[in-house]
């Protein structure tokens, strides 16, 4: 816990100091071409840009902690107002993806580990290597090509606004969720398989097998509980990949999520907005990792006394 908070603090330092590297400052960015030296000086004073960096950092970080996210340079709107609806729709997408991909990946990973060396195992491992090495946008474009262009089953663009029924929900989310799942699932299957294989190779599983325990109980009752720690880690890591993958997916499907807001902010160099979104993503990542650590400790009493 303490470690994660320290890391979050260091991340905020890093994100803030990168913005110091930017040539010019926020005042120049706002005024653009029409900047006169007087206007620049005035704006700098009103935005407190003349203060030394550490004071500005304290102000920025303190604001984040109290929920004051600042205002966007480009639109002038409060950042919190811009982010909230976008964050909600991104979470919707990520949540649905996790709901689909986690059970799917765990099942396939466990099956591959149990049937180690079989044709099925090899097929799964070939498929995961293939998917891991392919860029997200290739999977997405192929999906659009097949389902939207050729078959006309699904719309090529997704918007959560025109959802009136379950069918609408499926139609809108099918392709983004499918593509994102592909990205996430491969890594998760590989790591689950490795964890379960490790557990199956251990001497207590060997002993249980010699005792005559049925294969199903061997896997579910003996091997799996001991693989929960690594599997929780695999899930956390994969979901953090989801955070990155979501950026490309939202752009391709024109999905109004937070990642697209981020990409737009980068092209307009709207730094306050970028910093806030980066902090949200990093905090989410750290939270996932911490939860995975806690699950691992709960699942393995030996870790409690380290």
Partner 1 sequence: MTTSIPITPAPRKGVRPRFSLVLGAVIVGFWLVVAVLGPMVAPHSPGQVVDLDVFSPMSSAFPLGSDYLGRDVLSRMLVAARYTVFIALIATLIAAACGIFCGLVAASGGWPDAVLSKVFDTVNAIPSLMFGLVVIASLGASTTVLIGTLALVFTPGAFRTARALALNVTALDFVTVARARGERLPYIVVREILPNVLGPLAADFGLRFVFVTLLLSGLSFLGLGVQPPIADLGALVRENIAGLGFGSSAVLVPAFAIASLTIGMNLLIDAVSARRAGGGR
Contact between 80 and partner 1 by CB under 8 A: the answer reads: no
- For the chain, the distance separating the N- and C-terminal CA atoms, rounded to the nearest angstrom, is 15
Among 207, 200, 240, smallest CA distance to 224 is for 200
**Applying CB under 8 A, which part among 16-24, 56-64, 166-174, 217-225 lies near partner 1?**
16-24
Contact between 271 and partner 1 by CB under 8 A: the answer reads: yes
Taking a C-beta distance cutoff of 8 angstroms, is the pair 44, 25 a contact?
A: yes
Please, which of residues 35-74 interact with partner 1 by CB under 8 A? none
Q: Rounded to whole angstroms, how far apart are CA atoms 8 and 6?
A: 5
In the complex, the smallest distance separating the C-beta of residue 222 from partner 1, rounded to whole angstroms, is 18
CB nearer partner 1, residue 71 or residue 169: 71
Q: Rounded to whole angstroms, how far apart are CA atoms 132 and 112?
A: 17
Taking a C-beta distance cutoff of 8 angstroms, is the pair 50, 44 a contact?
A: yes
Contact between 105 and partner 1 by CB under 8 A: the answer reads: no
Token digits of residue 40:
């620049």
Among 189, 226, 282, 292, indicate the residue that binds partner 1 (CB under 8 A). 282
Distances (CA, A) of 85 to 159, 161, 171, 249: 13, 11, 21, 18
CB nearer partner 1, residue 22 or residue 45: 22
Taking a C-beta distance cutoff of 8 angstroms, is the pair 202, 175 a contact?
A: no
In the complex, the smallest distance separating the C-beta of residue 4 from partner 1, rounded to whole angstroms, is 8
Contact between 175 and partner 1 by CB under 8 A: the answer reads: no
In the complex, the smallest distance separating the C-beta of residue 205 from partner 1, rounded to whole angstroms, is 14
3-state helix, strand, coil in the chain (%, to 5): 80, 0, 20
Contact between 294 and partner 1 by CB under 8 A: the answer reads: no
Contact between 21 and partner 1 by CB under 8 A: the answer reads: yes
Chain centre distance of CA 48 = 34
Please, which of residues 122-161 interact with partner 1 by CB under 8 A? 122, 129-130, 132-138, 141, 144-145, 149
Which residue bears the tokens 């498929």?
Answer: 127
Distances (CA, A) of 298 to 4, 10, 110: 18, 28, 21
Contact between 6 and partner 1 by CB under 8 A: the answer reads: yes
Q: Rounded to whole angstroms, how far apart are CA atoms 265 and 15?
A: 15
CB nearer partner 1, residue 56 or residue 269: 269
Q: Rounded to whole angstroms, how far apart are CA atoms 90 and 141?
A: 20
Instruction: Please give the DSSP secondary-structure letter assigned to residue 66.
Output: T
Q: Rounded to whole angstroms, how far apart are CA atoms 161 and 55?
A: 42
Per-residue x/- mask for partner 1, residues 195 to 234, rule CB under 8 A? x-xx--x---------------------------------
Contact between 247 and partner 1 by CB under 8 A: the answer reads: yes
CB nearer partner 1, residue 154 or residue 289: 289
**Applying CB under 8 A, which part among 52-60, 172-180, 211-219, 276-284 lies near partner 1?**
276-284
Name the residues that contact partner 1, by CB under 8 A. 6-8, 10-11, 14-15, 18-19, 21-23, 116-117, 122, 129-130, 132-138, 141, 144-145, 149, 190, 194-195, 197-198, 201, 240, 243-244, 247-248, 251, 262-263, 265-267, 269, 271, 274-275, 277-278, 281-282, 285-286, 289
């Amino acid at each position: 816990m303490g470690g994660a908070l320290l890391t979050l603090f260091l991340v905020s330092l890093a994100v803030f100091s990168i913005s110091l590297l930017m040539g010019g400052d926020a005042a120049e960015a706002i005024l653009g071409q029409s900047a006169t030296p007087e206007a620049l000086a005035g704006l700098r004073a009103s935005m407190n840009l003349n203060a030394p960096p550490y004071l500005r950092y304290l102000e920025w970080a303190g604001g984040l902690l109290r929920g004051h996210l600042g205002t966007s340079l480009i639109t002038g709107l409060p950042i919190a107002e811009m982010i909230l609806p976008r964050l909600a729709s991104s979470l919707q997408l990520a949540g649905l993806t996790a709901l689909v991909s986690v059970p799917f990946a765990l099942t396939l990973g466990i099956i591959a580990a149990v049937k180690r060396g079989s044709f099925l195992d090899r097929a799964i491992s070939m498929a995961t290597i293939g998917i891991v090495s392919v860029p997200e946008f290739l999977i997405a474009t192929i999906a659009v090509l097949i389902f939207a262009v050729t078959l006309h089953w699904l719309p090529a663009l997704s918007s959560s606004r025109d959802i009136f029924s379950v069918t609408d929900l499926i139609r809108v989310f099918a392709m983004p969720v499918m593509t994102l799942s592909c990205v996430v699932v491969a890594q998760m299957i590989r790591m689950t398989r490795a964890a379960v294989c490790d557990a199956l190779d251990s001497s207590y599983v060997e002993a249980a097998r010699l005792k005559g325990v049925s294969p199903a109980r061997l896997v579910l009752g003996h091997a799996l509980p001991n693989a929960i720690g690594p599997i929780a880690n695999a899930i956390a890591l994969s979901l953090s990949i989801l955070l990155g993958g979501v950026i490309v997916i939202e752009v391709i499907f024109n999905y109004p999520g937070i990642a697209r807001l981020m990409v737009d902010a980068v092209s307009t160099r709207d730094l306050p907005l970028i910093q806030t979104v980066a902090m949200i993503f990093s905090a989410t990542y750290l939270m996932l990792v911490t939860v995975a650590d806690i699950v691992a400790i709960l699942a393995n009493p030996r870790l409690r006394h380290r």
